[in-house]
Structure 1
């Protein structure tokens, strides 16, 4: 590049330097060199075609189309330029034009190229028909097939996918589809694809933004789509919906900030009347209901939001808090454990998880202590048999049900130790046997108390040293 700037070079030499930059993946430098060659000799078709190739490398497909069209204008028999233009049209979702230029490319294009373009054309037609029938699964299938077949930069196909996914309540997948879609400048896209097609793409993008909670962007895009294609009732209706839902959300937010939670609940509800599947409005209404102590209703809203957007951390966090308010510790812990993975490093979530686990331990511990404090007197074999086979309030003796019947108390303790080791090492045994604690034991010899053994709460966790101390 420095050589080209330091002295006047022959255009062919500039082209060769551009080719070298292109082959090394330095597309911007290649474009600059091809442009210098074009300034010297603007009627050389290969300079324009090579510049188009470099622009493709930069992702500037519309610009590439214009450059290679100029190459074809200069030399209508430039076969490689026709092949390049056909491939661009195919990628952009214009298969009819692609077929035409593949044919003009003659031996520069293969039968497979033409067949692929025809296949994409058939698939786009199938997508359109499936959309009319609201066969959304077919729309997703056919549009993906068309993208994989070669139309990987066709905005309309990504819009078909995103719309279908929204209709199937797969909002996060719809957002991902639009993230993968090519981004083109609005005016250039309208010029290339036409007003109707580009307006549709913008309208679908607006719907995805609305579902994701980007209300201002959704309103802006939907209004732009309505201006581009003012005759479309469908696009106009989508724009009105975006404005209505956005207004309800803004009103609800203002009322929430003013601590007017009942009014805010109604405002978010108005928005949900227009857009029942808006996860953000559902989550916001859940916040209001939580403030009003309506935790069960708040959980219902969070459930609905998470069904629509399973990775919606704010809704999961809100549900975890509501479960905690209702002292449903297991459910709360389950949500917090997912949140720890989704938003690692969040100290508030980590602390909330620890607190929920502590509450659960206390809750289980109190239940266990109540049972441990019950006393049953066993002075003979019959009473021992009765205790370990009894049911009802003395649930702690479920721990003894895993023991063999013993006639000598020392043998009972020995077997208890062996089984308890298994329980400590394999918690699944305790779970299967519903073992939550071990009762206190008082040993008597000749009518005199010789040893007291305190009970154990297995819900708190237990290691072998504790067990040896117990025995």
Structure 2
């Protein structure tokens, strides 16, 4: 029967390794002194060919057993040539060998090794020597007496070996801790305990940071310690590391609601709100009276635009929530309802105002609210703002499956069709077709979804056909193709600009200016359309109009040499025209 015991901690293992290191070093030194037959104070040199006289005189000092069981000894290069073998293939026993003809300094694996004559006898071989060499090398380089690392292989390794790297800033240590936490969930030690990283202790260059990491690794089996570490990472803004630590704590004890709630907070900081809701719901399921989890869950629902659920959880957390929280949730509910009603009436200004107010009240990551804003901006001919809304850092980016499951098929399909229209307005026709197709797959019976899908396909096809015709120098046919696309997608800035180029190629500069002006109405920052209009105005000798466009372009494209040159030419033409007019007036 064997006695069961708790697995030693990392720091305990470090103590064990230190003791083994000292014992092995002592054993190595003792064995070598015995082999040399001298005192530790004044060692003598030895060679492979001849043993010291003291060793020959006293056979007790030639016992190979004193060395043969030291598995840490390693082979060292021979300093003298090996004696020639006889015809029978047997080697003659050299002086200083034992009665079996083996060299005295045999390693445990049976391979002979000896020191060079010029090498001091006090310099010993084996694991202890390797350990000392590694330590001294590190101390010379770093100017410190701290250890680099100790592993379960009883070896002090220099710098990057082992599964944790002690970086100066601690970032790599955090990443390694995260990887270790993931590994702990995937494998078990033979004794049945979860892998705890024992034997892989890192000391940082800075004593404080190294101590914290050492304690972290030695307490990997304590979920409360992991939670505290996660809290510290969260406070420092390292949210991904915090999630990994909370995950490890949950693996060790999934019945603690605080672990789930804290992980939800870190996920929310990473923008993974739907996952955060799921973890918060688990915390509430474990402890229905957990006020903080209810309050956190209410805040998450509020941000996602689920006002009714937010109100419910705020009311469940009487100790954490305030009346202001409930009022904000009720305001979001009212704002969304008003915005949706205004959309049915096509009152786009009210839609935009109420949706923006809902965001201000807390629904900053609600896809429905964002879609209402973007659609209103499109209808108000503010395409650049609609595009910026979806491409901004705060835009929700949820997967199709998780978003459909959370918001429902209709809610996510509406978000997708608005996104498709924004892509079309920005000239991303292929993206628009793909997004509209996804919405159609989610809700094929919805007329609005079907209409957007057809429009996207028609506009993309017309633009592609127009581009092919333009490349073939068939400018009239290309102009007609772009016009067909504009019939399906009126006011599209890209199609208008492309048609303007065709008009310019055909010498219809007036029409080209009109199309460029139409594109700039919906997208004021559309530099290509502004440049085309300026060029057409130059051809029409409208110097002041072209000057205004070039002055805007030089602000947007300060390094563009063509714009600089064109601006100088227009300014010269305008000065010449004004000087000519002044001279004519003076003659009269």
| TM-score, structure 1 as length reference | 0.77
Partner of 2:297: 85
Partner of 2:53: none
- Which secondary structure state, in structure 2, belongs to the residue aligned with residue 282 of structure 1? helix
Partner of 2:567: 353
Q: Distance in 2 between matches of 1:226 and 1:14?
A: 46
Q: Is the 8 A contact 2:219 2:226 kept in 1?
A: no
Map 1:155-166 to 2 at 5 A: 155-166=367-378
Q: Is the 8 A contact 2:219 2:225 kept in 1?
A: no
Task: Determine which of 382, 402, 411 is the counterpart of 1:197.
Answer: 411
In structure 1, runs of 5+ residues without a counterpart are: 372-394, 399-471
Q: Distance in 2 between matches of 1:282 and 1:119?
A: 41
Partner deviation per Cα, 1:401-448 (whole Å, 9 max, x = no partner): xxxxxxxxxxxxxxxxxxxxxxxxxxxxxxxxxxxxxxxxxxxxxxxx
Distance 1:224 1:304, change over 3 A: same
Partner deviation per Cα, 1:358-401 (whole Å, 9 max, x = no partner): 233344455566x4xxxxxxxxxxxxxxxxxxxxxxx2168xxx
Partner of 1:220: 434
Task: Determine which of 338, 347, 353 is the counterpart of 1:126.
Answer: 338
Partner of 2:497: 283
Do residues 35 (structure 1) and 247 (structure 2) align?
yes
- Which secondary structure state, in structure 2, belongs to the residue aligned with residue 106 of structure 1? coil
Task: Determine which of 278, 281, 291 is the counterpart of 1:66.
Answer: 278
Partner of 1:343: 557
Q: Distance in 2 between matches of 1:344 and 1:225?
A: 41
Distance 1:119 1:366, change over 3 A: closer
Map 1:105-144 to 2 at 5 A: 105-144=317-356
Distance 1:129 1:368, change over 3 A: closer
Q: Distance in 2 between matches of 1:116 and 1:357?
A: 56
Q: Is the 8 A contact 2:467 2:478 kept in 1?
A: yes
Aligned length: 374
CA deviation after TM superposition for structure 1 residue 232, in Å: 0.6
Partner of 1:246: 460
Partner of 1:98: 310
Q: Distance in 2 between matches of 1:161 and 1:335?
A: 30
Q: Distance in 1 between matches of 2:427 and 2:441?
A: 23
Partner of 1:326: 540
Partner of 2:586: 396
Q: Distance in 1 between matches of 2:376 and 2:471?
A: 36
| TM-score, structure 2 as length reference | 0.62
Q: Distance in 2 between matches of 1:90 and 1:325?
A: 56
- Which secondary structure state, in structure 1, belongs to the residue aligned with residue 436 of structure 2? helix
Q: Distance in 2 between matches of 1:142 and 1:119?
A: 10
Do residues 178 (structure 1) and 374 (structure 2) align?
no
CA deviation after TM superposition for structure 1 residue 119, in Å: 1.1
Higher helix proportion (structure 1 or 2):
1
Q: Distance in 2 between matches of 1:254 and 1:192?
A: 43
Q: Distance in 1 between matches of 2:280 and 2:522?
A: 45
Map 1:226-305 to 2 at 5 A: 226-305=440-519
Partner of 2:423: 209
Partner of 2:51: none
Partner of 1:390: none
Q: Distance in 1 between matches of 2:252 and 2:437?
A: 45
Q: Distance in 1 between matches of 2:217 and 2:247?
A: 13
- Which secondary structure state, in structure 1, belongs to the residue aligned with residue 365 of structure 2? coil
* Segments of 4+ moved more than 6 angstroms: none
